Amino acid sequence: MIAINSFSSLLISTEHLTIILLVTASVFIVLIGIAIVKMYKLKAENKRLIDSSPYKIDETYKDFTEGHLYENK
């Protein structure tokens, strides 16, 4: 009898299990939300730093036919 009573005290009811799973899921949802917000903030800061970089590559079109290998008339 003692073994049966000690075993039944270790069982978790479905209500307790549901509460534990809801708390765990909500903690992970909060952590994922924080990570998404930080990702967008870092992306915006990276864009700002790239735009203000003194080593920014000028990507305008340069006519390469003005060199000495081509005849200019």
From residue 66, give the alpha-carbon distance in Å to each of 42, 57, 69, 70. Answer: 42, 21, 8, 7
Which residues touch 56 (CB under 8 Å, ≥6 apart)? 50
Q: What is the largest CA-CA distance in the chain?
A: 109
pTM given for the model: 0.57
Report pLDDT digits (tens) over 13-62: 889 999 999 999 999 999 999 999 999 999 999 999 888 877 766 667 66
Which residues touch 66 (CB under 8 Å, ≥6 apart)? 72
User: What does the CA dihedral 8, 9, 11, 15 come to, rounded to 10 degrees?
Assistant: 120
